């Protein structure tokens, strides 16, 4: 009986290692593809889902360069990431073998070697609609692209014009935003609803995204990864405001519709300008984590780890106590996911990095 019990324990242990093995295989495959196709670095645009601290340098209230943010980052250091630790883009960069954390382009301590390995121009509270960024005095995509031009100049001075162009042409560009266009803009500020019906606003956002992508392509982007919007109705803050214990489905439907339109536009751009693209379905990842928490070792899907977990984020999370095991939570604050979820999103992205994107 003991031998049988030991055998069963070994089988269970082996099964537990299977997801880790699958992850290692996916990362190894992607790293080989990246090396084979001369992928140089990662360049990031977007909102708080990918801002490692650019907002620290801006006159805005949308900041997180204080504890408890960053409590699980290296040395427990708050960087300006709206998370307890690292973001999905950090894990993607690490998987590619470049760096363990993508730096903010506006970081005054940015080094020459970091310039070569990739940076983020993202700004928390930004969106596809420039008006979204203006509400919070942060960087719209147009300004992020302007800083990208500065990056190109720095790179040219560092390695020469030809080498700089090669680095940019062989980089993976990542865009992650859209949440604030709805939660900070359309559903909160009266300006856009007076100008657009909800469906017309979705169309407008897609046109903004298309314009920005085409500008990126003109400036040298050849590979682009777009991260879709999460299930907005499942955010603890939204559930609190809507006074519901389950995900607010009206907002989730908007997220789903918007993601569908993003994918359709990416298909169109792939054909019209020859851009290599990939879509990361953050909606599906987070929805699955909420619906099947045991699969991911999660126990808390309805509230954040910071404070009450129902309304606090950014400034209102400052200095508050947090849960003891954020790795068991879907949400870090009432809006943003935990490092654990960002790692799962990163693995989903890595699995999508195939020959179509990297070749």
Query: Can 117 be counted among the known catalytic residues?
Result: no
Query: Can 48 be counted among the known catalytic residues?
Result: yes
Kindly name the residue from 14, 28, 48, 354 that is annotated as catalytic.
Answer: 48
Tokens of 331: 């949400």
Burial of residue 350 (CB within 10 Å: 0-12, 13-18, 19+) is buried
Helices (H), 37-140: 88-96, 112-117, 130-136
Query: Can 281 be counted among the known catalytic residues?
Result: no
Cis check for the bond before 340: say yes or no (omega within 30 of 0).
no
Q: Considering only CA atoms, which of 209, 186, 64 is closest in space to residue 124?
A: 64
Kindly name the residue from 47, 123, 281, 336 that is annotated as catalytic.
Answer: 336
Which residues on adjacent β-strands are paired with residue 304? 331
Q: Do 152 and 219 contact (CB within 8 A), yes or no?
A: yes
Chain mean position to CA 44: 9
Q: Compute the residue count for the chain.
A: 359
Kindly name the residue from 250, 257, 333, 352 that is annotated as catalytic.
Answer: 333
* Active-site annotation, residues: 48, 333, 336
């Amino acid at each position: 009986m003991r031998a049988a019990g030991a055998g069963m324990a070994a089988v269970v242990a082996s099964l537990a290692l299977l997801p880790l093995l699958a992850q290692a295989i996916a990362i190894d495959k992607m790293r080989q593809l990246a090396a084979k196709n001369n992928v140089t670095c990662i360049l990031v645009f977007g909102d708080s889902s990918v801002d490692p601290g650019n907002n620290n340098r801006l006159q805005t209230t949308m900041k997180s360069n204080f504890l408890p943010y960053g409590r699980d980052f290296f040395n427990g250091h708050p960087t300006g990431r709206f998370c307890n630790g690292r973001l999905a883009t950090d894990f993607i960069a690490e998987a590619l073998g470049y760096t363990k954390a993508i730096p903010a382009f506006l970081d005054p301590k940015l080094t020459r070697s970091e310039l070569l390995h990739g940076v983020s121009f993202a700004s928390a509270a930004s969106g596809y609609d420039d008006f979204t960024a203006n509400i919070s005095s942060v960087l719209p995509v147009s300004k992020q692209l302007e800083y990208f031009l500065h990056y190109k100049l720095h790179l040219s001075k560092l390695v020469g014009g030809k080498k700089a162009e090669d680095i940019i042409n062989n980089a993976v560009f990542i865009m992650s935003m859209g949440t604030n266009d709805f939660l900070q803009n359309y559903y909160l500020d009266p300006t856009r609803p007076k100008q657009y019906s909800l469906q017309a606003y979705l169309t407008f956002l897609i046109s903004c995204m298309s314009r920005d992508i085409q500008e990126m392509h003109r400036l040298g982007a050849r590979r682009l990864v777009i991260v879709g919007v999460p299930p907005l109705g499942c955010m603890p803050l939204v559930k609190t405001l809507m006074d519901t214990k389950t995900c607010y489905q009206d907002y989730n439907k908007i997220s789903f519709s918007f993601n569908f339109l993003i994918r359709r536009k990416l298909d169109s751009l792939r054909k019209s300008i020859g851009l290599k693209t990939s879509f990361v379905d953050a909606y599906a990842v987070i929805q699955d984590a909420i619906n099947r928490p045991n699969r991911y070792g999660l126990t808390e899907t309805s509230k954040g780890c910071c404070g009450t977990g129902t309304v606090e984020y950014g400034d209102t999370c400052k200095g508050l106590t947090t849960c003891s095991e954020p790795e068991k939570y879907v949400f870090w604050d009432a809006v943003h996911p935990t490092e654990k979820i960002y790692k799962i999103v990163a693995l989903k992205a890595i699995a999508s990095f195939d020959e179509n994107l990297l070749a």
